[in-house]
Structure 1
Amino acid sequence: MLAEFSRRFAPGTLWGLRQAPREAAHGRRVERHWRWPTLLLLSATVPAFYAELLDEPTPLVAKLAYMLAAVVTGLALLHTAARSGGFGRHLWANPLDLLLVLGLGVSAWLPESSQSTWALMFRLGVALMTLVRMVWGIQHLITRGGLTYLLLLAATVLGLCGIGFWWLEPKAHSLADGLWLAFATAATVGYGDIVPSTPASKIFSVFVVMLGYGVLSLVTAAIATRWVETEERMIEREILRDMHRQIDSLRHEIAGLRHDLGASRREVHGHSAADDSVT
């Protein structure tokens, strides 16, 4: 049992999320085919979650967002498992995906979060699993040299968070106020001019802080890596130039030694020939 747990939550996985087996190339293609529709519908559950927190009646589109996300995530899991050559093995190797599908389906039928504390806690857990699933889906964009992608990701996240605060926070009277509150929250500055005042905006600010730590840390780390790599390249070029100079010097010395050795041999042969003629 311990071995099975270690296999499922190995370093190559993310909290129980695994890709199709490496020997099943077609399974990986199917997974990539379902990636963006799944991410799009999972991201649609974010406004649905906060729509449940508002005092206003929850629109039907919020319920549909949960249902569609559950259906598409489940179909992607089943399709990838079937094409990977090991249906049961791949299916049960993704426990978080299974829990996410179940949680999204149940969230669509629960009472509104503004009227039920336990429904709010359940949807909050589903939102955390959704966030993990979305991060896992875009991890291929987060590379050592992907500074452009990270900057676009940071700008997109802050922009969406600003729109979210503009929608959820009554004190954010404009989109500019929402963007300012999003940046101040993500950077954990907290000037105090605008603060979250409703339960929906307070819960939203928790996710903004988590996203801010992750996204801004990745951007600063990528920029620092670029600087370090630039300095390392300069040092490497200097070392290579010095090596080339030393190699050229050795070549000249070897060529001189060969010339001197050849001259010495010719001189020895000349003396030997003169001695032979005398005798």
Structure 2
Amino acid sequence: MANGLDFFSIGGADAHDGARAVHAWHVIRWLLCGWSLLVIPAFYGELTSTSQGALTIARSLYLCMFAGFALCLLWMLHTSRKPKAWLAHNRLDVTIMIGAAFSAGWGAPPWQTVEWVLRLLFVGLVAIRIVLSLKVFFAPNRLIGLLIAGAGVLAMAGAGFLWLEPRVHNYADGLWLAFESSATVGYGDIAPTTPASRVFAVFVVLLGYGMLSLVFASIAAAFIGKEERALRHEMHRDIKHLNAEIVQLRAELHALRESLTPSSDAITDAEALHSVPRDHH
């Protein structure tokens, strides 16, 4: 039974939809993830644009994003045996495609309150879509991968603050502000002051929460995993001992049953004795 949270998911292609649709989805899902990444330079390029040329470039990125999503969705509709059901299971992608189209030709900074809400809602949906696409790489038991990904996110966040925050004068300060934001330390020595850097800090904080939670969960799983393996080994050893005891008990029970059961020769002699006629006096 479907629920409201199905909207915030990537339905993909059903295994019963046909081999062509499943194969196409394996390719298209990564293309959609790549097109989704265009929202980052498009959003901040439009937000910080100071000339018509910069604004045109940002909107061109939105237009490319819309075209990429539209082509991928048309490809899936062409290969799917159940196009209507596929659209219903992938409403998030359809919504992002429509939002990219509106972003390409509507609104110019400074944005009004309603425009801010709609823009942030759109960027938030795209961020959810990117995380859902990459969640396979962020399993809690992949500590090394998580640490590498966290370092990469921190490096990109530092570059973003260097670009967006005027109080950040070098890359080291950008990295420090990125760490403060992702770890939610908040020393206050450097703080976002512009709308662009504040919006960027919001996403860095949310992403930092997720990354730190996964890293600590992976470390805890590593310690717990050792104890679980030891318990599993002990349990397997006990099961082997129990199996051996059961086999031995069955053998003893079979031997006991054989000793209590009369032999066939004894039964034959007893039957012959009873069949001999007796004299009547």
When normalised by structure 1's length, the TM-score is: 0.79
Among 82, 87, 90, the residue aligned to 2:83: 87
Q: What is the SS of the residue equivalent to 2:84?
A: helix
Q: Which moved more, 1:70-79 or 1:210-219?
A: 70-79
Among 120, 132, 137, the residue aligned to 1:124: 120
Distance change (3 Å), C-alpha of 1:130 and 1:250: closer
Among 97, 104, 109, the residue aligned to 1:108: 104
Q: How far apart, CA to CA, are the structure 2 residues paired with 1:247 and 1:93?
A: 49
Q: How far apart, CA to CA, are the structure 1 residues paired with 2:181 and 2:138?
A: 23
Q: Which moved more, 1:137-146 or 1:224-233?
A: 137-146
1:28 corresponds to 2:22: yes
1:154 corresponds to 2:150: yes
Structure 1 residue 147: deviation in Å? 2.8
Distance change (3 Å), C-alpha of 1:14 and 1:102: closer
Structure 1 residue 200: deviation in Å? 0.7
Structure 1 residue 214: deviation in Å? 1.1
Structure 1 residue 169: deviation in Å? 0.6
Greater relative contact order (Cα < 8 A, sep 6+): 2
Letter in 1 for 2:42: A
Q: How far apart, CA to CA, are the structure 1 residues paired with 2:169 and 2:219?
A: 34
Q: How far apart, CA to CA, are the structure 1 residues paired with 2:10 and 2:149?
A: 22
Root-mean-square deviation over aligned CA pairs = 2.9
Residue by residue over 1:161-191, the C-alpha shift from the partner in whole angstroms, topping out at 9 and shown as x without a partner, is 1111111011111111111111110110011
Distance change (3 Å), C-alpha of 1:51 and 1:232: same
Gaps spanning 5+ residues in structure 1: where? 1-5, 266-279
2:277 is matched with none
Residue by residue over 1:202-229, the C-alpha shift from the partner in whole angstroms, topping out at 9 and shown as x without a partner, is 1111111111111111121122112111
1:37 is matched with 31
- Asked if the contact 2:158/2:171 (under 8 Å) is kept, the reply is yes
Q: How far apart, CA to CA, are the structure 1 residues paired with 2:49 and 2:66?
A: 25
Among 89, 93, 96, the residue aligned to 1:97: 93
Q: How far apart, CA to CA, are the structure 1 residues paired with 2:68 and 2:137?
A: 22
1:168 is matched with 164
Tell me which structure has the larger Cα radius of gyration.
2
1:231 corresponds to 2:232: no
1:50 is matched with 44
Q: How far apart, CA to CA, are the structure 1 residues paired with 2:198 and 2:12?
A: 35
- Asked if the contact 1:186/1:212 (under 8 Å) is kept, the reply is yes
Q: What is the SS of the residue equivalent to 1:52?
A: helix
Distance change (3 Å), C-alpha of 1:154 and 1:26: farther
Q: How far apart, CA to CA, are the structure 2 residues paired with 1:215 and 1:31?
A: 27
Q: What is the SS of the residue equivalent to 2:37?
A: helix
1:180 corresponds to 2:183: no
Q: How far apart, CA to CA, are the structure 1 residues paired with 2:122 and 2:202?
A: 15
